[in-house]
Amino acid sequence: MSIKVKEVPVEAHNSVGKVERYHAPLRRAYEILREELKNENIDREMILQMAVKAVNDSAGPDGIVPTLLVFGAYPRMTEMDPPSPSVVKRAEAIRAATKEVRRLHAERQVNDALAMRNGPNITTTLDLPLQSDVRVWREKGGWKGPYKLLAMDGEICTVDMPYGPTKFRSTVVKPYHREELPEGEGEQRRIRAEDDQVDRTVDSEPVNEPDKPVEIQRRGRGRPPGSKNKPKPQTTVRRSTRGNPTHHQDLEDQFINTIWEGQDVAMALMTNKERADMELSIKLRNDGVITTPGLPFDQSRNEEIEGLIARGVFDFVRYDPVKHAGIRIFNSRLVNEIKGKATGTPFEKSRLVIQAYNDEGKGMILTQSPTIQRASQRVIVALAPSLSEKNISLSIRDITQAYVQSTTSLNRLILAHLPKEIKSKFSAGTIMVVRKPLYGIPEAGTHWWATYHKHHREKLEMVTSPYDPCLLISTAKEAFGVVGMQTDDTLILGSDEFAKLEAKELAEAKFSAKPKDTLSPENPLIFNGCVLTQKEGDVAVELRQKEQGKKLKLIDHKSKDLKQAYMEQ
């Protein structure tokens, strides 16, 4: 046996050490033993010894029992063993402490499972050769660099910092890309100083609006510029990529640069997608597939705005310099998309989105809502063929404008500028006061999930699966149904009685929804990125990915836009 010291990297406060994980269970076991044996005249060292034994006899966070790992069995307890209290009393105390330690470990495992999130993509960092230029994330200064990468040991990167080699987690290390500029252009393209104006209260186009107070500019950490804290020349860590279209960064860098530079980088990606959907809409209109009158997306935009106004999602008010002083005003936009591309009936869809980037107000509220697990989705699909003989079918219910149909209102004040498509219909200086959840607001998904989940539990008499809150099973004997929830879409496996009950309760709740689609050989279903198909005369259901394989193609590894092409794949 040997002891190996494991050093926690810099900027990795969330990395809990091997010993630190046992601090709370050990202290809790010690307190229980001291309380149980307070009348036995046992010193603290003996109680600590018994507490350590209770922890060693229990499975740790990794499921390993230290006593069994070392000895292969639990050592027997005899009258000769210190300390001196009776065997029965000591055994009861250790048993109580062991039970509490196991409860703490189970609670820790549940909390870890609930808090688990997908980490950033570190493939580019792990593929870097040694002595490459990298940048590192520091809490007080953001991304800094370039520095030399000295060594890599698994997830630990050793970087040559100005004060010596320092270890960092790979999640806070990124490649440092140098922008190659033509000769004579380097002096002309100076990096602009960051204004930290993520929220712009005016648009770029001139509009005759009344005088408004200048929005208070937020100040970051540290002292304001003064005699001892003068502005320092900016480095080229965050660079503008407008001048060189062949220079691309990964999605995480674009999002960070969006926040720091106030650029609509993420929206540029959305615009590229919208441009492709606009071209597809024109093509489908020319082919006669989409027959909606007017220009592309005109009718879908009007339907979206009129529907939101009818539901009272927001109010239109004049900007009040006194009442609205110090309140951030978000931008808003209409996002256009072609829905149902994998089916034979594509259609145009527009959605009003609040651009709540860098929303500081979301820190004190719950912004995450559950989504169905892949395993639950496969369970529903796997049950469908065997239940088809009992007239139990597979269908999908799509709720239109789901977020705005939440029965709960927002708990905070949200102000937003009018989207440019409807700005001409209102007088200058008009803004929106958002009353109900809307797309783009961080907590909107939580409001809708609570509403729809409560509807299924109370109106449809369903219970939640123990391992997935988005998998619900009916309790009524006369109406069998299994439902998988994915935001505004629900995958339903149910009998005719359950289908009638679901439609009846949906109408009574006044939820706007599209007609329910039932799986058949002529009508495939799309749910959560998957396509469900069925062949003629066969009860089997095929589950495949939604048109993703058709988008794969070879890329030229010598091209200048290699990274962008790879990212698109």
Confidence of residue 342 (pLDDT cuts 50, 70, 90): low
User: φ, ψ for residue 533 (rounded to 5)?
Assistant: -130, 160
Asked which of 75-79, 533-537, 549-553 is least confident by mean pLDDT, the reply is 75-79
Q: How many CA atoms within 13 Å lie on the side-chain side of 494?
A: 32
Query: Tokens representing 38?
Result: 């307070």
- Max mean pLDDT among 54-68, 184-198, 254-268, 501-515 falls in 501-515
Is the pLDDT score of 350 beyond 70? yes
Write down the pLDDT at residue 527.
Answer: 86
Asked which of 1-10, 245-254, 428-437 is least confident by mean pLDDT, the reply is 245-254
pLDDT mean across residues, the chain:
75
CA angle 66, 72, 73 (to 5 degrees): 90
Is the pLDDT score of 291 beyond 70? yes
State how far the Cα of 320 lies from the Cα of 415, in Å rounded to an integer.
12
With b for 16 or more beta-carbon neighbours within 10 A and e for fewer, the 379-407 pattern comes to bbbeebeebbeeebbbbbbbbebbbbbbe
CA-nearest of 82, 22, 73 to 50 is 82
State how far the Cα of 493 lies from the Cα of 513, in Å rounded to an integer.
18
Query: Tokens representing 545?
Result: 């990915």
Confidence of residue 262 (pLDDT cuts 50, 70, 90): very low
Write down the pLDDT at residue 261.
Answer: 47
Q: Across residues 114-134, what is the average pLDDT?
A: 81
0.75 exceeded by pTM: no
| CATH number, domain 123-175, options 3.30.2320.80, 3.30.429.10, 2.70.150.10, 2.30.30.850 | 2.30.30.850
Is the pLDDT score of 483 beyond 90? yes
Q: Across residues 38-42, what is the average pLDDT?
A: 77
* Alpha-carbon distances, residue 6 vs 61, 151, 163, 167, 481 (angstroms): 17, 16, 21, 12, 52
* Alpha-carbon distances, residue 426 vs 207, 316, 333, 415, 430 (angstroms): 12, 9, 16, 16, 7
Q: Using one digit for the tens of pLDDT, what is the confidence trace for 369-380?
A: 778 888 889 999
Percent of the chain with pLDDT over 90: 9
State how far the Cα of 371 lies from the Cα of 487, in Å rounded to an integer.
7
- Where are the domains positioned within the chain? 20-114, 123-175, 265-369+400-441
Pairing of strands 414-417, 329-339: parallel
Long-range pairs, 324-328, Cβ under 8 A, ≥24:
324/415, 324/431, 325/213, 326/216, 327/413, 327/415, 328/199, 328/215, 328/360, 328/361, 328/415
* Alpha-carbon distances, residue 264 vs 131, 194, 197 (angstroms): 33, 14, 11
Query: Tokens representing 427?
Result: 């007088």
State how far the Cα of 442 lies from the Cα of 365, in Å rounded to an integer.
9
Write down the pLDDT at residue 119.
Answer: 67
Q: Which residue has the higher pLDDT, 49 or 40?
A: 49
Peptide bond into 385 cis (omega under 30): no
Confidence of residue 68 (pLDDT cuts 50, 70, 90): low
Q: How many CA atoms within 13 Å lie on the side-chain side of 413?
A: 9
User: φ, ψ for residue 131 (rounded to 5)?
Assistant: 70, 15
